A and B are shown apart, each in its own frame.
Chain A
């Protein structure tokens, strides 16, 4: 039979042991992240220079670069943002401010929750069957951007709804009392007040999209591209390029370029892969950082 003091001492000991276990596990996880970053930097930094950023891929590792890959990533992200932000914010506003509580609304809600759980490669298969072959968009920047937009749509919708829901009801009532219509309330009050929360969600979603490889591989994005999409209004072969022609251009993106180099044998290509990985990580981490900062500022500023 233990005395009361012994029972208390034992409990304290257990607490202390578990505190150390939790601390150790957290350090292991963060340490892995640190090792990953260190390993990437050590292998890739020597390769990362201006030539690497301004050269096309090449069969010789030392001459290869990521020009077409990062330009492709930027253009695909433009299409993704231009598609996913209006669609996602509009859907979020509708579900939060307009939708009546009925079976149709709950169907849309269940559907969005399920879409969020669909693996990204399934979106790629859908885009391959529908966008590439049925709609004849081809294996183009347009297809890639729209595919990733579909993929991140649930994230944007959920972020929009949460940001709008956080606005207290009395803000809406004050506006309605002054005779504002529903759209005026949304446009002049709800969207400006929730813009911080919405942009956090959008940036997180885009940071996920920029690292996505599988759906773009599935739609048939190329791995070897030694030209850039035609710039609008430039002259190619004596003909002026239209403003939207780049949308239909074949493309590659950073993660696909990295995947291509990872799967090749030899240390030279591994260094290229690491250097591409550094650029990719820099883009992802800086987007996440911006999102964290915005979120912290929104939380501190808002006092209803």
Chain B
């Protein structure tokens, strides 16, 4: 009976001591905490780099914040330098607008169709296949835009330049369809069956139920999917860098070529600019503009999600 030699109370205490105060457990928890905190460092790194490179840009004599926001030309790489961000912003907004006009109606309709009109089996097959649309590397989409879509559009309208915002925007729209369709469908499917049954019980058909009952009930999720899609379109780079034309131009005509913020950054990065030159700093000034644009959209999305959330 050797094990009774140690009083029971002391043994309980030693078990507690062994599990609670194990230094290994503490160290592991601390290590995991560091990994989680690391994501905050990444954000801090982004903000630090954007500001620390953009502030010297605005400190140059030929650059003013007012000129940056109001000048209608963006020509930092020419000898007659103008630093107005508007042409890049207009290019970004135009291509985004075209993409949104393609993706939101198509994506929403497909979401309704998947959620309310087809059997779960069909849905489980179609959804992952559709999601492949946003898995295609964007450089491949760029190639697709200039070898298939733009030439096809030129056959319809021979005056169209090969590099134009319309072709880039349409292809970008196709790319973001799955963001809208899959996320909206998730939101629609989360609407309780009871609501649909109430609607059907009143004699409504499927389409009416979808539009008048499911849509309002799922609105917060649908809105969030729209915002995510828009934010993707604003930040999309390679499609516009390849297919949209790369000349910064303040125009709202989708058949013209233009440059987006992202395309400008790529164009400059492909060249060999010395670290610290004003041309090098322009990409950070453009980047900070892009960062705030997408941040605004993301915050708007979070707000919409909260504002229109329905709790069942």
Contacts and interface: CB of A to CB of B under 8 A. Distances in A.
Contact of B133 (A33, A107, A111, A129): A33
Interface string B287-311: 1001100110110011000000000
Contacts of A125: 46, 49-50, 53, 265, 283-284, 287
Contacts, number: 262
Contacts of A30: 129-130
26 contacts: A7-B203, A8-B205, A11-B207, A18-B109, A18-B210, A23-B113, A26-B126, A33-B132, A112-B39, A119-B291, A121-B265, A126-B42, A126-B45, A126-B50, A130-B49, A153-B42, A183-B28, A208-B135, A212-B137, A213-B138, A214-B238, A214-B262, A218-B266, A219-B269, A223-B270, A259-B238
B207 A284 contact: no
B234 A119 contact: yes
B35 interface: yes
A93 interface: yes
Interface of B: 15, 19, 22, 24-25, 28-29, 31-33, 35-40, 42-43, 45-46, 48-50, 52-53, 106, 109-110, 112-114, 117-118, 126, 128-130, 132-133, 135-144, 146-148, 174, 177, 203-208, 210, 228, 231, 234-238, 241-242, 262, 265-266, 269-270, 275, 283-284, 287, 290-291, 294-295, 297-298, 301-302
Interface stretch (A36-44, A46-54, A166-174): A36-44
Given A25-B109, A91-B36, A218-B266, A263 B206 contact: no
A74 B181 CA distance: 32
A152 to B, nearest CB: 12
Contacts of B231: 117, 119
Given A15-B207, A112-B39, A122-B290, 18 more contacts: A8-B203, A15-B205, A18-B113, A87-B35, A90-B36, A94-B33, A108-B36, A114-B295, A117-B231, A117-B294, A118-B291, A122-B294, A157-B39, A183-B29, A208-B135, A214-B238, A255-B137, A255-B238
